[in-house]
Structure 1
Amino acid sequence: MAANDPRHILDEGRMSVRQWIVVAIMIALNALDGFDVLSSAFAGPGIRKEWGVSPAELGVVLSAELVGMGVGSVLLGGMADKFGRRPAMLLCLAIMAAGMWLATTSTAPMILATWRLITGLGIGGMLAAINAVTAEYSNKKARSVAMSLMVIGYPLGATLGGIVAAWLLRDGEWRLVFEFGAICTAVCIPLVYFLVPETIDYLNQHRPANALTRINKTLKLMGHPQIEDLPPVPAEKARTSVFDILKPGLVGTTLTLTAAYLFHCITFYFTLKYSPTIVGDFGYSQSQAAQALVWANVGGATGGFIFGFFMQRFGIKGPTVIMLLASVVAVAAFGLGQTTLTGWYIAVFLTGITTNSAIVGCYAAFARGFPTHVRATGTGFVIGAGRIGAVGSPLLAGALFQSFGGYQEGLFVTACIMAVGSAIGAIAFMTLKLKD
């Protein structure tokens, strides 16, 4: 039976070059998401200067794509389980490219917020789909590392994009940031179309009319032996539904992951969304402020890469709890403020290491906690619900800054309050039960 089970063949076989190519494309797509999400943060100082927006108004603009991500994660994430991972990714890329390009035409904050919301729809659905594809194209041995590499694509994209953004912002034209993002997004569409076949897990689970032919074609492409026929679908799996994530057996995992991710996002997005604006308010240029976000994401990429090997050796739960608690300390320390630009870069680098390592742990838990038929749906639901924290983060921080007298005067108190999110996330994660 195992010899005729395509999932077993992938699980126990070697990771071929072709499988790593798919993983690399997923890393690139997450890098694209990383830049797209943070493009408004890179542009934040310029937006504030051109339109004279208050901290609270800027918080609305910075939150817009996060609202879209929440909706897109649930709706388009579910689409990946119903219609396939590949069609969902292609649709999300088209939506993202359109939203980024239209952002360049904005003439007022609310118009920009609208286009950012549309961009967020595509980003949210994309995150759910690429998480499933990475897990399903990896073998058992390499899955933890592959998942961590996929997740650190986010800060890598933000880092490389931030370097480009700092260069584009030399003349203060923030719209160029969105134009660059639109072009990069459009380039990814043919990559997915030609190089990423539908996953074997999805085809084996849903059994379209040509499932065996498509599975064998993919197995051959990946350098694995083909099968003569498909294994029978167990009766209990034949009755599965995307709503299983809210039924006994999975609802506990769903709610625990949602709580951990939601509250950690409050902390995570505080430094990512506000560090350029905060550094700029301390008297540094737009370009220097944008580079602070670059260093935050360099830290995120560094921590996430190393963290993947820790998960491979020590599992998902323990290391993730440690990083959630470390995030509390790093973000509170960020709130102490710095007297030099180098000091700011070091502070955001440390917040990036801790907060993004915890995100890597969360995404690995999504792939481990949900079975194939609801993997994208479950991931999308958790990401979507977690976006409540992501959306609320810049709004809450903006209100706190305004209440405490501004970015400089209210930095420490605001940072300490925002750090509580990771502490709550750690408590929730401690109760999580994951199967090997």
Structure 2
Amino acid sequence: MYKADATVDGSTLEDHSRSDPVSIIRTSPMGKFQVALMVVLFCLYALDGYDLLAVAFALPGIRSDLKLPPDILGVLASVGLIGSGAGAFLIAPLSDRLGRRPIMLASLVLAGSGMVICTMAHGYVALILGRSVTGLGVGALLPGITALAAEYSNDRVRNSVTVLITVGFSVGGLVGGNFAAALLSHWTWRSVFLSGSIGTFFAVGIAAMIVPESIEFIAATRPVNALARINSVLGRMGKQPIPQIESRQITASKATIVPLFKADLLVTTAAVTLTYALHGATFYYCLNWLSKIATDIGYSAAGAAHALAWNSGGGLIGALLAALLATRIRIQSLIVVALVASTVALLSLATIHRMSDEFLFASGLLGVALYCGQSSLYAYMMRAFPTRVRASGAGFVTGVGRFGGIASPTISGFLFASGLSNAQVSTMMALGSSCGAAILVCYHTFWHKRR
């Protein structure tokens, strides 16, 4: 044990840490309330995973019902990502100004509204509108709830908890894929969106009752009732109230991305954004076109949804693997290995041309690599950006970086329409993850070590 250093007023640093709510959370064991909160945030991730992937589950049915060509289907798959990029870039940074909680609730309402629009759509224009609105909500939600998870976790488990929260996206795809397969066996593709809308609006009520505002955000922004709000949450956590908020707390961000381009963060912002964008190109190509690839080799619409569920099941394993390894090895090393594995796995899948257990198994292995890389990147963002710009940084990376995912389905749709085979397009799109790995290696080799 060490002896606490004395401060100017004669108190000790240990005394100050006991009255600093942020330090209390960072140094105390995780309590029941925090664990319950992580479960709720996990479920919100799962719901968003279903909402964002709903178009992939419904795509074969939409193609058959509305007779849409591959290039239009590619646009339809992309607009949700365009909306999510806009939501992450334009709305998510407001979490650093207005609070994590109000933006979270508003984002859920947006996502649910978009699902309702898709349910009632009778043409591709309405579907594009609905997917755009859903994407806007999903993109705005994810950075804020990731920041909430990080800010309610202690230092010992923060990396693992942040990764575990993102596992919810894989669970949403796995459970949603099997659920969608069951729905599509009895009803039309509209049932996929209807069930998503019901679940999302139900989640609004649950989140409103359970999820509090971030203590770290309250301490930073200092609203009039800051102390009472902090003590209220500390009470729910089973912690003692504090007499005052320490004056050394940081100044709140004004929901601007300008600090991300200052000298201390510019290279970090560029490296993380490019890595996320390039892996996103491979990631969203797989999510949006795997069902098409499956139907092309003989699977039915329900069978294609089942194959996509295998991919999400592998993603669950990959994300859990990332959570297990995040506190044992360097997070950047984990990301690089996962991104290289994603490239190899997609190239292997591209060689399978018939319905088989081999195809399903390869789809699962691809999910392991894709989601391990994606989950690790979210944990990396929470470490790369300081509190004052954490939601803004994560929003910028996922917003601008998602243009890789946005471009991917559209580009691949035009490549398919030009006559290229599944194997040829898959080979091209597999390069995104490997290029992202190369950028991260260069960043840590030539820049990060010199800081």
* Letter of the structure 2 residue corresponding to residue 238 of structure 1: T
SS in 2 for 1:232: coil
Per-residue Cα deviation, 1:8-46 (whole angstroms, up to 9, x for no partner): 110110100100111111111110110001100000000
* Letter of the structure 1 residue corresponding to residue 391 of structure 2: A
2: distance between equivalents of 1:220 and 1:92?
Answer: 28
1:138 and 2:153 correspond: yes
| Contact 1:269–1:390 (CA under 8 A) maintained in structure 2 | yes
1:413 and 2:424 correspond: yes
2:101 corresponds, among 86, 89, 102, to 86
SS in 1 for 2:326: helix
Partner of 2:112: 97
How high is the TM-score relative to the length of structure 1?
0.96
Greater Cα radius of gyration, structure 1 or 2: 2
1:156 and 2:171 correspond: yes
How high is the TM-score relative to the length of structure 2?
0.93
2:71 corresponds, among 56, 62, 70, to 56
Deviation at 1:239, TM superposition (A): 7.9
Per-residue Cα deviation, 1:64-105 (whole angstroms, up to 9, x for no partner): 111100100011101111100000000001111111011111
1: distance between equivalents of 2:128 and 2:336?
Answer: 34
2: distance between equivalents of 1:183 and 1:238?
Answer: 39
2: distance between equivalents of 1:240 and 1:393?
Answer: 33
Where structure 1 has 5 or more consecutive residues not aligned to the other structure, the ranges are: none
1:393 corresponds, among 403, 408, 423, to 408
SS in 2 for 1:130: helix
1:216 and 2:235 correspond: no
Partner of 1:255: 270
2: distance between equivalents of 1:101 and 1:313?
Answer: 43
Partner of 1:202: 217
Per-residue Cα deviation, 1:252-308 (whole angstroms, up to 9, x for no partner): 211111000000000001111111111012221111010111000000011110111
Q: How many residues align?
A: 430
Deviation at 1:240, TM superposition (A): 5.3
Partner of 1:191: 206
Aligned-pair identity in percent equals 35
2:333 corresponds, among 293, 318, 322, to 318
SS in 2 for 1:314: coil
2: distance between equivalents of 1:110 and 1:240?
Answer: 38
| Contact 2:41–2:149 (CA under 8 A) maintained in structure 1 | yes
Deviation at 1:238, TM superposition (A): 3.3
* Letter of the structure 2 residue corresponding to residue 106 of structure 1: A
Partner of 1:427: 438
Where structure 2 has 5 or more consecutive residues not aligned to the other structure, the ranges are: 1-15
2: distance between equivalents of 1:412 and 1:280?
Answer: 14
SS in 1 for 2:291: helix
> Judging changes above 3 Å, is the alpha-carbon distance between structure 1 residues 169 and 240 closer, same or farther for their aligned structure 2 residues?
closer
Moved more, 396-405 or 269-278: 396-405
Partner of 1:238: 251
| Contact 2:91–2:140 (CA under 8 A) maintained in structure 1 | yes
Partner of 2:6: none
| Contact 1:46–1:172 (CA under 8 A) maintained in structure 2 | no
2: distance between equivalents of 1:7 and 1:172?
Answer: 50
2: distance between equivalents of 1:15 and 1:191?
Answer: 22
| Contact 2:150–2:158 (CA under 8 A) maintained in structure 1 | yes
Matches within 5 A, 1:267-278: 267-278=282-293
1: distance between equivalents of 2:131 and 2:187?
Answer: 20
1:65 corresponds, among 80, 88, 102, to 80
2: distance between equivalents of 1:107 and 1:219?
Answer: 50
SS in 1 for 2:327: helix
| Contact 1:22–1:195 (CA under 8 A) maintained in structure 2 | yes
2: distance between equivalents of 1:281 and 1:54?
Answer: 14
1:125 and 2:136 correspond: no
